[in-house]
Amino acid sequence: MIKSWTEYFLFLVAINIIKICPLSISYFLGRLIGQLAYFFLPKYRKKAIENLSLAFSDYSKKKIKLIAYRAFQNFGKSLIEFFRLAKTDKENIQRQVTVEGLSYLKEALESKNGVIIFSAHLGNWELISLTLALAGYSMNVVVKRQSNKYIDGMINKIRKTKGVEVLISQTPKKIGNLLQKGKIIVIAGDQSTSKKGVKVKFFHKFITIPRGAAFLALRYKASLLPTFDIREENNQHRIIINPPIAVNQKAISLEEVISCLMKKVEEYIKLYPDQWIWWYRQWEKEKIDNFN
């Protein structure tokens, strides 16, 4: 209990400091947070380097480490952007974020079968639901509970103040009901799972991916749109909504849908490798020497 309250207190302090800082100072602090995490969290640094070396086996050690370092920096900046959401309005978002492929979303909504936006932990993925919510779309995002319930509540409160409804990942029935009403569901489903999932190839190696997004799309005939956020120069953002994955064909399987989704994720990661979170377990453990 004391640990949870201490973490929550520090979280609140960080948010309030960031809120009063100029944007340039905030981004400086974000980069600093990422740099400190890279150097002082060796467990996560090692895992990031291991995963990168598996994904890009032809890259030099120097290049691998540089990508990992920049990935930590970018994640730090994404944290800062999330902390600043309390003071972010529609005009600020319109200045910072552009959306490509919005016609795919509009067309998908016309089907009245609901829309699943399949995202990845790339760029600042939180901006996808936030930007579309501020643009007038009814957004529902599937999330996992944080280990600290107080921080979890604060994070979800920030999302809700911007018009984003929060769905805990253990509520498939509610998600199905929303799809039947023609609503939009956002799922970041690119992280491997040790629970029941589907094995697909990802960077030429097998990874177990949660079946949720693909299963729901097939079950409810919902449109499935791979959508990603990319951090540009000067910390501008570009949200790219891709054409829908074909899920209405009778012969298509769950495995094929997930494979299509992860191929699209891989495509974007290859373009922006320093914007993905590499420090979680993805593939089966393989020994990587001389990277630490």
pLDDT in tens, 156-170: 888 998 899 999 876
Provide the b/e sequence for 24-47 (b: ≥16 CB within 10 Å). Answer: eebbebbbebbeebbeeeeebbeb
Partners of 119 in beta bridges: 188
Give residue 186's pLDDT.
Answer: 97
Place of tokens 């949660």: 210
Query: Residue 87 pLDDT more than 50?
Result: yes
Give residue 288's pLDDT.
Answer: 42
SS3 24: helix
Residues 213-235: tens digit of each pLDDT: 999 999 999 999 999 999 998 99
**Residue 4, amino acid:** S
Report the C-alpha gap between 28 and 46 in whole angstroms.
24
Binned at pLDDT 50, 70 and 90, residue 196 comes out as confident
Residues 35-64: tens digit of each pLDDT: 999 999 999 999 999 999 999 999 999 999
Report the C-alpha gap between 52 and 197 in whole angstroms.
23
- Report the candidate in 144, 240, 129, 131 with the shortest Cα–Cα distance to residue 183: 129
* Mean pLDDT of the residues in the chain: 90
